Chain A
Amino acid sequence: MKRMNKLTVCLSIIALAGSLLAACSNNNNTTNSSASPSPSASASSASPSESPSASPSEDPNAPVDGGSLVIGTFSDIVAINPIYIQDTSSGDVATFALANLYDLDRSGKVAAEPWSLAASLPEISADGLSYTVKLKPEAKWNDGTPVSADDILFTYNTMKNPDAGSPAISVTDKIDTITKVDDKTVTFKLKQVYAPFIYSLYTALAPYHILKDVPVTELEKHPYGSDVAQTVTNGPWKWTEWNKGQYLTFEADPNYWGSVKPHIQKITYKIYADQNTEVQALLTGDIDMTAAVPLPLLETVQGNSDIAVNLAPGPQYEYFAFNFKDENFPGNYSLFKGQKTRQAIAYALNRQGMVDNILKGTGTLMNSPFLATSWANPGDAATNYTYDPEKAKQLLAEDGWVAGKDGILEKDGHKFSFELQYNSGNSRRESVAAVIQQNLKDVGIEVKTTALDFATWVDQNLNPGVFEAALGAWSLSNPDPDQESIFSSKYYPPAGQNNIWYKNEKIDQLWVDGYSTTDQAQRTEIYKQIGAEISADLPYIFLYQYGTPQAFNKKINYAEEDKPEASLAYGQFFHIINWWIK
Chain B
Amino acid sequence: MTEYLIRRTLQSVLVLFLISVVAFLLIHAAPGGPKSIMMSPRVSPEVAKIQERNLGLDQPVPIQYVKWLGNMLQGDLGNTFKNNIPVGEIMWPTVKNTLVLMAAAWIVSLIIAIPWGIYNSTREYGLSDQTASFISYIGFAMPSFWFGIILQEIFALKLGWLPLSDMYKLGNEGDIGDLLLHLIMPVSVLSLGFLASYMKYARSSMLEVLDQDYIRTARAKGLKERRVVFRHALRNALIPIITILGLDLPILVSGAALTERVFNWPGMGRLFVESAGQREYSMLMAITLVTALFVVVGNLVADILYAIVDPRVKLGKKGGVSA
Contacts and interface: CB of A to CB of B under 8 A. Distances in A.
B204 interface: no
A498 to B, nearest CB: 11
A220 B54 contact: yes
A465 B153 CA distance: 45
Contacts of A244: 85, 89-90, 93
Contacts of A21: 273-274, 276-277
Nearest to A499: B41
The SS class assigned to the A binding surface is helix
Interface stretch (A164-172, A176-184, A370-378): A164-172
A226 B83 contact: yes
A145 interface: no
Contacts, number: 168
Nearest to A30: B41
Determine which residue in B36, B42, B164, B262 has the highest number of CB atoms from chain A within 10 A of its CB, and name it.
Answer: B42
A247 B170 contact: yes
Determine which residue in B33, B83, B164, B170 has the highest number of CB atoms from chain A within 10 A of its CB, and name it.
Answer: B83
Nearest to B265: A273
Given A17-B257, A165-B54, A458 B36 contact: yes
Nearest to A87: B38
Interface in A1-36: 2-3, 10, 13-14, 16-18, 20-22, 24-25, 29, 32-34
A22 B31 CA distance: 14
Interface residues of A, number: 66
Nearest to B153: A280
Interface stretch (A201-209, A281-289, A411-419, A564-572): A281-289
Determine which residue in A13, A223, A494 has the highest number of CB atoms from chain B within 10 A of its CB, and name it.
Answer: A13
A497 interface: yes
A456 B32 contact: yes
A165 B32 contact: no
B149 interface: yes
B264 A18 contact: no
Contacts of A274: 261-262, 264
A455 B277 contact: yes
Contact of B83 (A18, A78, A280): A78
A405 interface: no
B51 interface: yes
B247 A3 contact: yes
B164 A25 contact: no
A497 B83 contact: no
Contacts of A449: none
Given A70-B170, A272-B264, A286 B32 contact: no
B279 interface: yes
B157 interface: yes
Determine which residue in B36, B166, B260 has the highest number of CB atoms from chain A within 10 A of its CB, and name it.
Answer: B36
B50 A163 contact: yes
Nearest to B279: A455
B40 interface: yes
B84 A220 contact: yes
A480 B247 CA distance: 60
A2 B36 CA distance: 38
Given A10-B254, A162-B47, A217 B41 contact: no
A131 B24 CA distance: 51
Nearest to A169: B47
B148 to A, nearest CB: 9
Contacts of B278: 25
Contacts of B85: 226, 244
12 contacts: A2-B244, A14-B272, A17-B261, A18-B276, A33-B41, A165-B54, A167-B39, A167-B40, A277-B262, A453-B32, A459-B31, A463-B41
Given A21-B276, A220-B84, 12 more contacts: A14-B257, A25-B37, A33-B41, A78-B82, A165-B43, A245-B94, A273-B274, A277-B262, A281-B164, A453-B32, A457-B32, A459-B31
Give the top 3 A-B pairs by smallest Cβ distance, nearest first.
A455-B32, A459-B32, A32-B40
